Each structure stands twice: as C-alpha cells, then as structure tokens.
Structure 1
Amino acid sequence: DVMTVAEYNRLSQVFPEAEIADASAMFRALRSVKSEFEQKLLKEDGIHHQAAYERIPAIYRAGMTDVELQIEIERALRLEGCLGLFRVQGGSMELFMGNILVGDNADSPTPYDFAMGGAGADASLPVGASGEPIVAGKTVMVDACGNFNGYMTDMTRCFRVGEVSELAMKAHELSISVNRRLAQFGAGTPAKQLYEEAVKMVEEA
C-alpha cells in the first residue's frame, strides 16, 4: 500500500481515465483478520520455527561471538526449510533473518522502528549483533523470523551463559509474568490495551 511518486506518476499516465485512491485502510483491515487457511499456514510455520529453535542450545559453542551464533541459527532455520526472505512494512525498514543481542548490546539504540536495538556489525546497518563475545554471565536474546510458506512467524527466546545478575533474573521473570497475563486476553483485544496492561505491570513491579 506504499508507492513512490515516480510510480504514482507512471500509473497516472498509463491509466489516465482511472481514479487513483488510497487503499491502505482496506488492505490493513484485510490483513488484520486471518482466514482459516492463513491460520493453518501460520501454525505450520510456527512448528518449523520451533523445531529450529530447539537446536539452539546444541548449536552454541564456548568462545562464540553473537555474529557466529546468529550465522549458525540462520543455517538451522534454512535447513528446516526457511525461505530466507522477509517482507517488512514501513519506509526505510530493513530486516535480515533475525537478531541476536548479547549483554549490553541490547541497550544500544537503533534508528529502526523495532522493539529492539543493537549496534550492528557495521555503522551502515546499525541494528543487531555486533561481534560481542558470548561469555559467562551474559544474556543472549534470540529473535529470528520464520518464513516457511510465505507467512511470517516471529519467535523470541532468552538464554544465559552461566549465572547472571539478580536484576537480570528479576527482569526476565517479570517479562514472563507479563506474557502470561497478556495471554489471558481474548482474540480481538486491541494492541493498545495489551500495551497499557504490560506498562502497568512493569510500573507496579
């Protein structure tokens, strides 16, 4: 539902008698409710996605960097059947197969409209893994996408190497509590309401 001015002008010339109108709202409404067929594809996608994620503990090797771990996770996803291409809505939005954030790199800001950051491996693409060594006491967040049949799933899992700080454990436990609480809301709940409930729980913790 997005096009450049050049595309708009070209279509206006090709179809001079046609009325060109904004169909964004129609497309978004259509995408917001999935048919039974689409739900079936998403469930199948999730099964393959989970199967790849179950390999992550065995994939990790001591001394790895976040980039090295990400490469191996991407390999596991491709071997599971992931198509490797992901479409992202939004201007100037770019996405590879996923994001691996280790330790303090998770706090690195990014210009992208994502819920996560990361310095990235190069300033030209400032998001995600940065070459951070994965050592004892570090947390590892794996947020990789699945696309096995044209429909995307997104799965995030957190791991730790050895013992981590008490604060990190409390934050992780709180995030689990938030997810369990939000899972109690029924289908069709506005995203705004879910967000506000999550913020409330965090502020009260």
Structure 2
Amino acid sequence: MPVFNLSSCITNPCTGCQYLRFATVLSGLGQVGDCSPLVHRLREVKSAWEIEQMRLAAEIQLTMFEAIAEVGCEGATELELSAAAEAISRAAGFGGNINLRRFPMQCDRAVVVAGRAGGIPSFFDAAIGGTGPHPGVGMGTGFNKIKPGEPVLVDILHAHRGYLIDMTRMFSLGSLDAVWQERLEDMLAVKEVVVDVLDQGKTCSQAWQEGHALAVEMGHGDHLMGQQPDQTNFLGHSLGLELDESPVVAAGFDRPLELGGTMAIEPKVVYAEGSIGSEDTWVRGERGMEPLSADGAFPWHHQW
C-alpha cells in the first residue's frame, strides 16, 4: 500500500482516491513525488504566443461588454445581460469551462450583479458573490432586475484557445449618486497604486500592503473586497490557462510579478446595497505594466 501524503493533497488539487490510484499505479517506479509547484511556476511567465492569445481574448471580451451596453434597460435581468455577452463569446469559440487549480472551487464565467445582489457573499474566494439563479447555483448571475440608480457590476471572463482574460466594469440605469461615484474613483486610485508598485518590480505583498493601506485611509477598510466577516484578502490574481494562478497581490507573496507575468487587478468595495470597482488584466513587460484587456477603451461606468 502506498504512503498517503496528506500535505500534498492539501496544497495541490488532488482527492485522496486520486492520489491513492496514481500512487498504486506508479509504485513500481519508486516513491511518488509532487511536481505541481514546478508546473505552476513554469506557467507564471507567459511566452509571446501565450500573451497574444490573451490579447485576442480581450478583443472578443470588449465586444461582449459592448453587447451588454446595448441591451441593458429597466427590468432586464442579470441573466439576460449575461446571455448577450455569452452569445458573442460562444460564437467566437469559447469552450464553456473556466479552469481553476484549487479543488473543489468552481465559478461561472460571468458575474452580473444588480443592486443589492452585489452585496451577497458566496462560497467562492472572491469579493463578489451574487444570488445565482437558484440555490443549486448559489452565486453569480440570477433573475434580479435592473432598477434606476442602482450599481450593476459586470465581471466577465473570456478564453481564447484556453487562455483567460478578466475584466470588470460598472453599469447603471441613469446616474449613480455621488457616494457610488466616489467609491468608484477610490477603487481606481487603489488600482493605480497596485499597478505602480508592480511596475517598479516590487513584491506582490508590497502591492497589497500599499493598496490596502490607501483603501483603509479612504474609509473602505471594512468593505474592501467584501464585507466582514466575508472579506477576501487580495487585490489581484495571476491568470492564464487557469483563473487562480500565482503570484497573487496578497500578503505572503514576497516576490515580484515576473516579466511575462499576467495578472488581473480588481479592487472592489462591497456594501449591503451593492458593490462597485474595476478590473483589467495586465502583463508586465520590458516597458512596464501594460493592460491586455480594454482599460480605457471601455468606460469604467456606462450609463444606460
């Protein structure tokens, strides 16, 4: 009987039955080792071809957001907005799966949350939860309807040949009041700080510290990336073939984003009456941090 290495199953996505099966099959070759950390470190730095796939994904993603800008109206549901974007993505070749490393995490490719739905947490390790369409899918986009003056947060993924791109923008029917507008401006300021720290080649943990400190100074400490006690402690995550690659803009990641590293930077604040923030996917190149997703090509806040 092979030795069961519990620590390997905790740190890497493998069930006990899977581990025992592979360990038994490979037992004749000697002790079973874990090469997952090596594979994931190799994935951190993208080749020029990989970055090009993400750029192509971003082009499709932009048209998805443009579709949402066209169909939004009073009484439209979150699912109807998501469907408009989904149709474009599917027609462009999206295969339907969002790959994650962590077991047993799963998520939808689009999170559209209107008004108070944006303040509902979920099991997923992210700032935004949402109601989902029914209890069997208890997060993300649901049947909540667009109402005047409420923030509608749209967080959408697209994948081209398996390579993910991630972006968030805000929508509203009519204008948002000054409080929401100020919150969005604050999150854009936090985003700029995080990008600047990474651009200088400083560590991801330092980017977290400086971004978090600014948010606290602005009065958002209890609402940054979720409401207490459901806050998540990061401001950005690497992505590529998987949504949850390393490094992460969080405490403990005491190394920089390497040249060729790709990261979604997504400061958001969550309140009972809704959520607001921004997100773009970036690559760190020889000339510094460069946006792969739309950045200024699509407004931070679109008004229907």
CA contact (8 A) 2:133 2:143 kept: yes
CA contact (8 A) 1:107 1:117 kept: yes
Q: Corresponding residue for 1:66?
A: 78
Structure with the bigger RCO (C-alpha within 8 Å, sep 6+) is 2
Q: 1:21 deviation in Å? A: 0.9
> Any unmatched runs of 5+ in structure 2?
1-11, 219-304
Q: 1:184 aligns with which of 187, 196, 204?
A: 196
Alignment of 1:120-139 (within 5 A): 120-139=132-151
Q: 1:79 to 1:195 in 2, by over 3 A?
A: same
Q: What percent identity do the matched residue pairs reach? A: 24
Q: 1:194 aligns with which of 191, 196, 207?
A: 207
Q: 1:187 deviation in Å? A: 6.9
Give the secondary structure class of the aligned counterpart of 1:145: strand
Please give the alpha-carbon distance, in whole angstroms, between the structure 2 residues aligned to 1:144 and 1:3: 28
Alignment of 1:94-113 (within 5 A): 94-113=106-125
Q: Normalised by the size of structure 2, how large is the TM-score?
A: 0.63
* Residue type at the aligned position of 1:191: C
Q: Corresponding residue for 1:15?
A: 26
Q: Normalised by the size of structure 1, how large is the TM-score?
A: 0.91
Q: 1:187 to 1:95 in 2, by over 3 A?
A: farther
Please give the alpha-carbon distance, in whole angstroms, between the structure 1 residues aligned to 2:67 and 2:135: 31
Please give the alpha-carbon distance, in whole angstroms, between the structure 2 residues aligned to 1:164 and 1:176: 16
Please give the alpha-carbon distance, in whole angstroms, between the structure 1 residues aligned to 2:162 and 2:141: 26
Q: Corresponding residue for 1:149?
A: 161
Please give the alpha-carbon distance, in whole angstroms, between the structure 2 residues aligned to 1:68 and 1:46: 22
Q: 1:151 to 1:189 in 2, by over 3 A?
A: farther
How many pairs does the alignment contain?
A: 205
Q: 1:45 to 1:189 in 2, by over 3 A?
A: farther
Higher strand residue share: 2
> Any unmatched runs of 5+ in structure 1?
none
Higher helix residue share: 1
